[in-house]
Amino acid sequence: MKICLLSYRGNPYCGGQGIYVYYLARELHNLGHEVHVISGPPYPEVADGVRLHKLKSLNLYESEDSLLKNLSRLRNPLDFYEFMAVCLGTFPEPLTFSLRAYLKLKKLLSYHKFDIIHDNQGLGYGLLLMKCLKIPVVATIHHPIPIDRDLALTQASNLSERFKLKRWYSFCTMQNLVSRRIERVITVSQSSADAIERAHKITRSKLRLVYNGVDIDFFKVNGGVIKEPNSLILVNSGEQSIKGVPYLLKALHLLKDETEVKLTVVGSPTPDGQYLKLVKEYGLGDVITFTGRRLWSSCC
């Protein structure tokens, strides 16, 4: 088969983005399929034999000077829309990527006849345009974003914050509509399947369960390492309250005077962000280590 994988972001440090796409594309290629990945920035790593097609975007959330680097592109209607949508406090990337991917796909169809299009939780309206190309469209939903929205709204401290959150998460309406109109939705656990059925109102017959796996050639038990008592490890890809890290830090604060405890965080804290402020406030600098971020391939 010729398979086209779509990922509106391909961050190689993020499990649901670049890492998922890397392994899925690699294993499909190893099974004998021809795999093409269309991704927006940050771009994923891909295995040998997998074709990567990089789509440009304004990438306004990546760095403060992203707009200055792309001012000339605002003449393009789609880029101008992306800029204005960010200025208004929304998150346009799933939509704008899906439209750019549709245009890219139409060009690729001159050379490649794809048998299936597999979207990685972008769920933009462009997927409905792709259905007009008479190619089956499926999508992976790792976890329904409306749950994150509802949790964030619960934690909002005032009406202004709730308004900003509702505006930011407005793309959930699009994802609800699109997810119900594509051929199949793939998810990674029974818990996610149940949550998706409730949040997106998707019928159970449309859902397919394909569990996440572990690369046992890479992740191995190292018998030569002596376990440290009271030592914890946390893998954290982003600094968001809904991930519960502030509660873990508060628990460490309560425990550190009663027992020796150590926490290793695989990841990097945001400079002047919430995590570092809490570490300082709770006096945890001597019990917490941040490893920073590294590509998995650099650890081999």
**DSSP string for residues in 168-189:** HTTHHHHHHHHHTTSSEEEESS
Domains of the chain, with CATH numbers?
Answer: 2-209 (3.40.50.2000), 231-293 (3.40.50.2000)
Query: How far, rounded to the nearest angstrom, does the alpha carbon of residue 168 sit from its chain's CA centroid?
Result: 16
Q: Which residue has the higher pLDDT, 7 or 293?
A: 7
Exposed e or buried b per residue across 238-253, where buried means at least 16 C-beta atoms within 10 angstroms of its C-beta: ebeeeeebbebbeebb
Residue 279 or 298, more confident = 279
Highest mean predicted confidence (pLDDT) among 68-72, 179-183, 232-236, 258-262: 179-183
Query: Minimum mean pLDDT among 13-17, 84-88, 126-130: which range?
Result: 13-17
Tokens (6 digits) for 197? 């059925």
Residue from 183, 172, 184 nearest 90 by CA: 172
Predicted local confidence at residue 29, as pLDDT: 98
pLDDT tens for 195-220 read: 999 999 999 999 999 999 888 888 88
- Tens digits of residue pLDDT in 59-114: 887 766 666 666 777 888 999 999 899 989 999 999 999 999 999 999 999 999 99
Q: Is the pLDDT of residue 241 over 80?
A: no
Q: Angle 55-144-177 (CA atoms, 0-180°, nearest 5)? A: 70
Distance CA 9, CA 34 (A): 21
Closest CA to 123 of 196, 66, 70: 196
